[in-house]
Copies of this chain bind each other. A is one copy, B any other.
């Protein structure tokens, strides 16, 4: 395994410990549940925005906890939904008079765990709602999902809701914003390599040296087809066309573009892809208002990238521009 790894069973816990140590005073860590939340825990008048899904997608969502983003994250093992007691512990730790809003990417495992935890919490009188994200246009159903998968578009839901919640938006207002973002965001991913889950210790799937998976899921789920690797612009064209035709995005749209690395692809290549995504958006008459080039939702060390387009309006532009702080920093 080409990994920096101690006991694979401790991978998630050690990563969380690293995040905790790297951000002194900023987070509370509950090792028993792999639960991490803002040390400046919002008061009861603020809706708590939380997420818990499989690990292996970092920075999503362990490292995206902070003011203006998530209030807490409760990751499961790599590519595995968090256990129900973890989900429940997260809801209970973050309960608030204004309520707890759980953001769930659309995978059956995550939905099941959170549904049970939410039911338990509601039975105890805790106010909690959920919102399902399903931005991946690649396939209508998938190995682990009924309906479209939730992938990197999740970032925009977290960012918009984190900003709105910080300003005191109510549960009803947040659900409306979530619905707006999710209905206007579309993603599509391409993998150039597989990845090695620590406990498995072997490639998640086999892929030849000259092959790519077009429409890959973030847990290695099959996409639309296996194909020979093409030129970057040709790959980007297919991603862009799949997304743009789906909403559809159209001339006059103000958009945010995200080129997201899947973990093993260097930022140099992401900027090569961004170049053509920007050109395509402008050629289609869109105005590129914001852009995001880097790693937002990964699959361990998988080589690959996803493209996300989000249609903006005045409200979303303000929310995306609002300040936010997370574990991951440059300076």
Number of copies: 2
A28 close to B (CB within 8 Å): no
Binary contact readout A204-222 vs B (1 if CB under 8 angstroms, 0 otherwise):
0000010000000000000
Chain B residues with Cβ under 8 A from A328's Cβ?
267, 293-294, 330
Shortest Cβ gap from A210 to chain B (Å): 8
By a CB distance below 8 angstroms, the chain B residues around A159 are 331
Contacts of A4 in B (CB 8 A): 192, 232, 235-236, 265, 269-270, 272-273, 305
Closest CB in chain B relative to A151 CB, distance in Å:
16
Provide the bound-state CA to CA distance between A16 and B18, in Å. Answer: 33
Q: Write the A297-331 contact mask toward B (1 if CB under 8 angstroms, else 0).
A: 01011010100000000000000100010101111
A229 within 8 A of B: yes
A230 CB to nearest B CB, Å: 10
- Give the shortest distance, in Å, between A320 (CB) and chain B (any CB): 8
The proximity string for A residues 258-270 relative to B, scoring 1 for CB distances below 8 Å and 0 otherwise, is: 0000011111111
A58 on the interface (CB 8 Å rule)? yes
Residues A15 and B268 in contact, CB atoms below 8 Å apart: yes
What are some 21 contacts across the A-B interface (CB < 8 A)?
Answer: A2-B229, A2-B303, A3-B229, A3-B232, A3-B265, A5-B269, A5-B272, A11-B272, A14-B232, A15-B268, A18-B273, A18-B274, A18-B275, A59-B267, A63-B267, A263-B266, A292-B329, A292-B331, A294-B330, A320-B331, A326-B330
